[in-house]
Amino acid sequence: MAPSCELVRSRCTVSPPERYLAGGSIRRRSESDYDVDIYTIIFLALAVFIFLRLRNVLGQRTGSERPPYDRAARDMANGAAGNNAAGNNNVVPLPGTVIDHAPPVAPTETGPAPDRWKGVTEPGSALAQGLDAVVAADSSFDPQHFLSGAKGAYEMIVLAFAGGDRRTLKDLLSKEVYEGFDGAIREREQREQKVETRFVGIDKAELVNAEVRDRAAQLTVRFVSQMVTVTRDKAGAVVEGSPEKVTDVTDIWTFARDISSRDPNWKLVGTESGH
């Protein structure tokens, strides 16, 4: 049976929709049948509202936006990545053993403090004046950081020389000093001798001189150490030194760095024995 329509004052009132079941019986729609449609409309309206809000906040791409900041691209443009790719990076990959820059320190408006070199040298000394010149040319220089790296480099160089490790020596020595070390290694190899060196410890590492020459900072360090050194021949017999005796050694080494270069490493440019 079709729904009835009753005209009342020119209006047509339609009775609630009905569904016909098998056998001709009638089932009226429940309110839940209409709830689904209402919720769908509400969710759609909410989605449109959120979309419009996001569009207003984030804006639209017009094709004229600047690209995002790319730090790696900046480093490559400055030559940092290019040097690494070309194999020109002389940094030895051992933490605490490379003499390089200290972390940059924010500049201050006041002049240098009278005790800025406390624990390193006396105020007004020649060494203090030399350190002032180094800092004036390289504001990131820190003497304690340098000495820490110098001690590591000292041990590395001594052990590399004893073991004939030319690759390590090339990274840490100037050309002139390397040639001297290489010559001594060649003579030892010709005599078929081997040197065994063991560090007991470095008792002291102190700055004794600092200066700037032609954009090159030079720092001289006195090392006082204890080590065991023995030289053996081809058969293993001891030629010089002793495998049990601890020897006190004093060396005075000078390190230099071109402060106009991007290379942060210091290299050994001079050696002499202390007294």
Residue 9 lies in a domain: yes
Same domain, 139 and 194: yes
Same domain, 114 and 210: yes
Same domain, 18 and 107: no
Same domain, 16 and 140: no
Cα dihedral value 238, 239, 240, 241, nearest 10: 0
**What burial class does residue 33 get, using C-beta atoms within 10 Å of its C-beta: 0-12 exposed, 13-18 middle, 19+ buried?**
exposed
Nearest residue to 229 (alpha-carbon basis) of 188, 200, 270, 253:
200
From residue 127, alpha-carbon distances to 69, 120, 213, 220 in Å are: 44, 9, 15, 10
Same domain, 211 and 107: yes
Same domain, 111 and 38: no
Higher pLDDT, 240 or 13: 240
- What is the predicted pLDDT for the residue at 194? 95
- What is the predicted pLDDT for the residue at 85? 40
Give strand ranges (E) for the chain.
5-8, 11-14, 18-20, 26-28, 194-213, 216-232, 238-241, 247-258, 267-273
pLDDT band at 104 (very low <50, low <70, confident <90, very high): very low
pLDDT averaged over every residue in the chain: 75
Same domain, 184 and 263: yes
Q: What is the pTM of this model?
A: 0.60
Mean pLDDT of 246-265: 93
pLDDT 10s digits, 166-182: 999 999 999 999 999 99
Q: What is the DSSP letter of 145?
A: H
Q: Whole domain around residue 40: which residue ranges? A: 5-58
Which of 26-30, 116-120, 266-270 has the highest mean predicted lDDT (pLDDT)?
266-270
Residues sharing a CB contact under 8 Å with residue 107, sequence separation 6 or more, in sequence order: 139
Higher pLDDT, 48 or 235: 235
How far apart CA 52 and CA 270 sit, in angstroms, is: 72
Same domain, 183 and 258: yes
- Contact in structure between 146 and 114 (CB atoms under 8 Å): no
pLDDT band at 36 (very low <50, low <70, confident <90, very high): low
9-13, 28-32, 58-62: which range is least confident on average? 9-13
pLDDT surpassing 70 at residue 144: yes
- What is the predicted pLDDT for the residue at 215? 87
pLDDT surpassing 90 at residue 72: no
Place of tokens 């009278």: 114
pLDDT 10s digits, 16-27: 444 444 455 555
Longest dimension (CA), the chain: 130
- Contact in structure between 137 and 210 (CB atoms under 8 Å): no
Place of tokens 């839940």: 32
Same domain, 158 and 246: yes
Give how many domains the chain has, as a whole number: 2
Residue 76 lies in a domain: no
